[in-house]
Amino acid sequence: MRLNDKLAVVTGASSGIGAGIAKAFAAEGAMVVVNYANGKDKAEAVVKSIEAAGGKAVAMQADMSKAADVVRMFDAVAADHGKIDVLVNNAGVAVFEMVADVTEEAFHTQFNINVLGSFLAVREALKNFNDAGGSIINVSSILSTHPSAATTVYSATKGAIDTMTYGLARELGPRGIRVNAIRPGYTNTPATDGNFDGDFGKTLLAETPLGRFGEPDDIARTAVFLASDDSHWISGESIRSTGGARGV
């Protein structure tokens, strides 16, 4: 198993892409910290699913936009489970509105969770990262390079994630820590439920050469690759996992 005896922290892992990554990591032998902000029951369901399949996981609550929560969680990870080998920054929120309708609150909420939350997670994880190095994976989006109407602010947060990825890769490379991002395409998750309906969904599907929308497991497979030694010479990259879609 490619992640045997590794400790992985996956933020925003109670559902969707995060849950898919957590399950895939556990199937590859990792002990997984399933972070959640509010969905305790969903996070515990992910843990039970992992344990039923013979894996190891624990649910930990923290609002990734709040520094005190992030510090508390990573202190608990260190105390209970030891050194971190893999961090996945997946926690995020999207408010899809035209610019004229975006409030300051919606703007700050997206940047605080998507960007500040990822930064805080990296900062705290580094205090307890494996001395031999490891992997940090930031979940970006196809929208970081191909935003569409009503996605401007969300897309900007993912553009910031891409830039942060490049900077961290240069800064942390000497410690043996690889930093990469995944840019998922149009993926079926609870957060996107209903977004692909009607003519708009048909347009998105027509732009996807492999002929279907993505599933969390599709993204999880890319995450496993980036977390494992199979990608030992890859850092500072944003890898598209889109079924060939380039954006509308």
The predicted pLDDT at position 45 comes to: 98
Assign 193 a pLDDT band (cuts: 50, 70, 90). Answer: confident
Q: Average pLDDT, whole number, for the chain?
A: 97
Whether 53 maps to a domain, the answer reads yes
Whether 27 maps to a domain, the answer reads yes
Whether 1 maps to a domain, the answer reads no
Backbone φ and ψ of 91, nearest 5°? -55, 130
Q: What is the CATH number of the domain that holds 181?
A: 3.40.50.720
Assess contact for 247 and 146: CB atoms under 8 A.
yes
Domain that holds residue 122: 7-240
pTM value is 0.97
Q: Would you please indicate which residues are annotated as catalytic (active-site) residues?
A: 154
Whether 127 maps to a domain, the answer reads yes
Does the pLDDT value for residue 4 go beyond 80?
A: yes
Does the pLDDT value for residue 248 go beyond 80?
A: no
pLDDT in tens, 26-41: 999 999 999 999 999 9
Does the pLDDT value for residue 91 go beyond 90?
A: yes
- Work out the percent of the chain whose per-residue pLDDT is above 90: 94
Measured between alpha carbons, how far is 66 from 38 in angstroms, rounded to an integer? 13
Whether 93 maps to a domain, the answer reads yes
Our count of domains for the chain comes to 1
Q: What is the DSSP letter of 127?
A: G
Measured between alpha carbons, how far is 113 from 118 in angstroms, rounded to an integer? 7
* Residue with the larger pLDDT of the pair 62 and 196: 62
The predicted pLDDT at position 78 comes to: 98
* Residue with the larger pLDDT of the pair 239 and 195: 239
Mean pLDDT (whole number) for 144-152:
94
The predicted pLDDT at position 194 comes to: 84
